[in-house]
Chains A and B, each alone.
Chain A
Amino acid sequence: MSLRFNRRSLMRGLLGGGTVAMGIPALDIFLDGHGAAWADGKRLPTRFGTYFWGLGLTDTPNGGTRWVPKTIGAGYEVTPELEPLRAVKNKVSVLSGFRVIGDGRPNIVHWTGHASILSGIAPAMTNRMDAASFDTKVADTIGGGTRFRVLDASASGKVVSYSTRTGSAFATPETTPTELYARLFGPGFQDPNRADWTPDPEIMLRQSVLSAITDQRQALMADVGRADQIKLEQYFTSVREMENQLALGLEKPEPCESCVVPAPPKAGVKAASVDTVNANTKTMAKLLAMALACNQSKVFNFVHTPGASETYMAGSSKIYHQITHDEPTDAALGYQIETSRLAGQVMEGLGAFLNELDAIKEGDGTLLDRSLVMAFSDTGYAKIHSIENIPIFLAGGAGGRHKAGQHIAGKGEAVTRASLTAQRIIGVPVSEFGVGGMRATRPITELMA
């Protein structure tokens, strides 16, 4: 009785959500045998994540770039602001010269850039996107079969995520290492390598609680308007995610060779200075990486600092955002000195993040080799809110599908081409992404294996 109930609710979650492959890898009928699927390197899951930081990198219209490599293709040189990526350079592709094409829509400062990268449309207003962010499509494609279809985290203490299904309701991130740890490894976590696993009988009781809610769905949706329909769809999608989580709790988890349950992190300091944000980034990356290795999730969104970043050098009275606008370009050097110093600090965060993924051995490589991380920002040259030459990185081998370690020069092409490429590398079945001047139909094939 219990098993039938469990499978049924799993399938209901699967079909009702319009989502893909949920639960399938954990159902033993699709596996060759217990453990073999995970022990065989080829079958290790591929993961996807976005990484956002605010205020771009430093360059000026008259040259003086601090980040764009001179050479195209493989073997690009490490420019000053890319220095923190040196250790993983061969696993990171640098995408320069891509821009937002607004088709007459205004440049909404510190919003249009990343909203376009994620949704494919220059947004009409701030804090809203005109379409779902594409990470949700990735989550629907590869995020199933784990406790969390997607994980969201923010390192600067700000409650900010740019992941949205509706365009107006955004994901809720964990904002401290302690919160993230509790969600990942607190109650509800099952150590996949535990020998003495037994299903928790309480789970079936918890499942029954949700049945009355899904039973009322039709009555509730019968007389709602358009906007409410979208909101309630999102709510019921969330209920199904919970049902899926509970159903997985009744399955014996597959062992994961790289999974080592981490110790709880020390309570962090609440501050927005760049050293604190980077320390949080490193700790949270360690937790996220282990959550991926323990098969708790396959998709994440990480925000180092929001657009118009308010981070600062500890003790300095000016925030990064203000400095990008106020600081003059040094006549001799051709760039903003303090701005570039902060950009370098902010990139330390990305470097630390990728290094953590690369530190976990998995199969014949590392977790980073099995992942694709798309890192990007809100602006190009921040002093003038430029949405041209927005720095974008694709990091990680994506299980052999990303020809990493190259510099691609976009030459003014739409940022959506990068987004399409990421989706195609990770296996989202899309043939195009974006609308109008940003409709991209050709992925960057140089990056695809």
Chain B
Amino acid sequence: MRRIGKAAWVLAASSLVLGGLTVAAKTAWAEAAAAAQAQSVTIGTRRLTESQYRHAIADILGADVRIEGRFEPDRRDAGLLAVGSAQLSITPAGFEQYYALARSISAQALAPERRARTLPCQPADPKTRDDACARAFIAKTGAALFRRPLTEGEIASRVRIAGAGAERAGDAYKGLELALASLLAAPDFLFRIEKAEGDPAAPGQYRLDGYTKAERLAFLFWDAPPDAELRRAAAAGELHDPKGLARQLDRLAASPRLQEGARAFFTDMLQLDHFDGLTKDPASYPKFSQAVADSAREQTLRRIVELLVVQKRDYRDLFTSNATVINRQLAAVYGVPYLSDQAWAPYTFPAEAERSGILTEITFLSLFAHPAASSPTRRGVKLHEIFLCEPTPEPPADVDFSKVQALANGTVRTRLIAHMENEGCAACHRVSDPVGLALEHFDGAGQRRTQENGQPIDVSANLNGQSFAGAPGLGAYLRTQSKIPACLVRQVYSYGVGRATDERDDDYVADQSKAFAADGYRLSGLMVRVASSPEFFKVKLPARPRPATKVAAAATGDVGGVQ
């Protein structure tokens, strides 16, 4: 009785306080809206990905700062984590991790051997507070971390933390460490907070503010926060001017850091994060190990960077090229000798290996399979989703599985034919399965085989009226499909703006695809054209907050329940 009474009191009190906050937030919103053009508006928030976080720390505090911790899982929406990141928040378990990272990183950055590099000044007395030095450090490092200048309030609160901490610990550096940790745990660092402002060229309209533009550019091209030069250009308003923007784009695209940007983009597009949860049955695939999985992922990224960024080749070659790089672990699974004394070596597969293109790598073949078997359906579904931007609908719930029965022998093709004869299944399986069946010379770990259960495997396939055989036939077929480059255009754009495309973007995607073709399907050209198009910086104002938050309403309702 007493327990419930207490709970009710706390609930009532908390809903009151929440109600107050809500009103405050509402008022602030109304004021912001009233001030319209002068005020900036937050149009979206996107949680930093793990690699963006790592690149930020390396750039701002040094590559030798160790980042040991677990990051909250990302979420894939419309095929991309970059789109899903706009849905993500930070849960209590996740914040614990970010907070522990903030403490560990700031302790390293202010450790005796690194503090001279980290700080723009030296505290006058190492034993107590130096507010001027703290201010200089917080303003400089904070602007790099928050990707915009800090407000006076943001600086002042951290100067206070540094001062109080220095006094309490008798150590100026301890105080600065606390201030840095406070920046690293802040939402302004952990989320990309995208802002729009009134557009002086078009009264009544909004445009992205300079820092948000800089952020979109830097994360697209380098997977890293804007460097000092890009922030300078943003502050000077140069990114609103086509010439100023072009200057920065040339610089971004010419930098070797474009390789990091490409790695991050393809890690997302190819869904390489699935490696984190990938396990194979050790009895079925004894050669498959964590080292093989890690190497396979690295092989895919190295091949892409070499082909598309270093050699600047035609994107479609990714589906036919048999030139790659391998290491010792991969050689064992591919069943080829490894003769180099280097960690990685170039390797060109002979034609009879049927290893042509990215679909014949261990990555694609093992990621989209079962723990102890291949899966033509999964491979087909993922090929369509990733490379053709054609997601497969969820299977219907009420399928009659009575005809789809297990077979003790024969190949997987026999089983799948049952799907294609079943009306509820056929519409999707007729699309997904042929391409998957063409890859059946590779098992669930990506090893080559020509038989299954003692039967020869038939790798012939027919899709959209075209017949082809095996992986090389599939690669050659895909290379001719205009949907392949058009899908890349779509993916690059969605990745950059953090939003899934829809039919309203079709004309834009078509125009960009035409330009992509005219340019010989070069990746960096595509990225520059997308980033310099007005659509890349287009502002979509968000729905306004609800009058009262759900939490407050629920709390009030709960009190009613007790009474």
On A, residues with C-beta under 8 Å from B are 14-21, 24, 30, 106-109, 112, 126-127, 132, 137, 141, 148-150, 152, 157-159, 166, 168-174, 179, 183, 204-206, 208-213, 215-216, 218-235, 237-239, 241-242, 245, 270-273, 310, 312, 314-319, 322-323, 325-328, 383-385, 387, 427-431
Contacts and interface: CB of A to CB of B under 8 A. Distances in A.
Contacts of B406: 318, 323, 326-328
B70 A179 contact: yes
Scoring A157, A213, A273, A325 by chain B CB atoms within 10 A of each residue's CB, the highest score goes to A213
28 contacts: A15-B17, A16-B18, A109-B395, A112-B397, A159-B73, A159-B277, A169-B88, A183-B96, A205-B174, A208-B164, A212-B161, A213-B182, A213-B185, A216-B154, A223-B32, A229-B25, A230-B549, A231-B88, A238-B91, A239-B185, A245-B96, A271-B281, A312-B371, A317-B370, A326-B401, A328-B402, A428-B558, A431-B560
A241 B25 contact: no
B404 interface: yes
B182 A20 contact: no
Contact of A430 (B89, B398, B561): B561
Q: Which 9 A-B pairs have the closest CB atoms?
A: A225-B542, A238-B95, A107-B397, A222-B28, A234-B89, A212-B157, A429-B562, A231-B89, A241-B92
Contacts of B546: 226
Contacts of A238: 89-92, 94-95
B28 A172 contact: no
A314 B281 contact: yes
Given A224-B45, A225-B545, 12 more contacts: A16-B17, A16-B21, A159-B276, A166-B89, A205-B168, A216-B186, A216-B187, A230-B549, A231-B89, A239-B95, A270-B279, A328-B402
Contacts of B161: 208-209, 211-212
Nearest to A206: B103
A220 B190 CA distance: 13
Contact of A218 (B24, B88, B397): B24
A310 B95 CA distance: 30
Interface string B142-164: 00000000010110011011001
Contacts of A172: 72-73, 91, 93-94
A242 B103 CA distance: 13
B92 A317 contact: no
Given A237-B92, A429-B558, A219 B281 contact: no
B110 interface: no
B96 A169 contact: no
Contact of B545 (A208, A226, A245, A427): A226
Contact of A225 (B42, B399, B551): B42
Nearest to B290: A270
B237 interface: no
B543 interface: yes
B14 A318 contact: no
Interface string B166-190: 0011000010001001100111101
B365 to A, nearest CB: 16
Contacts of A216: 153-154, 157, 186-188
Scoring A30, A208, A227, A315 by chain B CB atoms within 10 A of each residue's CB, the highest score goes to A208
A182 to B, nearest CB: 10
Interface residues of B, number: 107
A234 B95 CA distance: 10
A317 B284 contact: yes
A273 B89 contact: no
A232 B543 contact: no
Nearest to A329: B402
Nearest to B194: A228
Contacts of A431: 560-561
Contacts of B373: 317-318
B102 A209 contact: yes
Interface string B544-563: 11100111101100111110
Contacts of A219: 151, 153
Interface stretch (B5-13, B252-260, B354-362): B5-13
Nearest to B164: A208
Interface of B: 3-4, 6-8, 10-11, 13-15, 17-18, 21, 24-25, 28-29, 31-32, 39-45, 70, 72-73, 75, 87-96, 99, 102-103, 151, 153-154, 157-158, 160-161, 164-165, 168-169, 174, 178, 181-182, 185-188, 190-191, 193, 276-277, 279, 281-284, 290, 370-373, 394-402, 404-406, 415, 541-546, 549-552, 554-555, 558-562
A204 B178 CA distance: 11
Given A216-B154, A326-B404, A18 B552 contact: yes
B404 A325 contact: yes
B552 to A, nearest CB: 7
B91 A171 contact: yes
Given A152-B93, A172-B72, A231-B45, A226 B10 contact: no
Contact of A228 (B44, B186, B562): B44
Nearest to B14: A18
A319 B94 contact: no
Contacts of A112: 397
Contacts of A15: 13-14, 17
A3 B362 CA distance: 58
Contacts of A169: 75, 87-89, 91
B15 A18 contact: yes
Contacts of B154: 212, 216
Contacts of B42: 223-225, 228
Nearest to B138: A212
A381 to B, nearest CB: 11
Contacts of B24: 218
